[in-house]
Amino acid sequence: MKLKDLKREDKAKIVSIEGDLVFKKKILDMGLTKGTVIQVIKTAPLGDPVDIKVRGYQLSIRKRDGERIEVDING
């Protein structure tokens, strides 16, 4: 499942991050690393961006970036 597919209040663990080194570095710098648990707080009215809670802070991420982050909702 991809991060962009999560609904409000869903919790999931990051399994992998797809993309080039520049994208991966950007995502890693935001604290989104493999094994990190995230929770969807809300989605903007038009569906983009998605606000998530990660490591105690709130982060907004674009859906197109969320397409590249694989998560496990059972994790």
Across the chain, which has 75 residues, the per-10-residue mean pLDDT values are 90 93 91 92 85 91 91 83
Count of domains observed in the chain: 1
Query: CA 56, CA 17: separation in Å to the nearest integer?
Result: 21
CATH of the domain at 26: 2.30.30.90
pLDDT at 15: 94
pLDDT at 70: 94
Query: CA 35, CA 14: separation in Å to the nearest integer?
Result: 5
Place of tokens 């869903």: 10
pLDDT at 75: 59
Backbone angles phi, psi at 33, to 5 degrees: -115, 160
pLDDT at 48: 84
pLDDT at 51: 93
Residue 57 domain boundaries: 3-72
Query: CA 3, CA 12: separation in Å to the nearest integer?
Result: 8
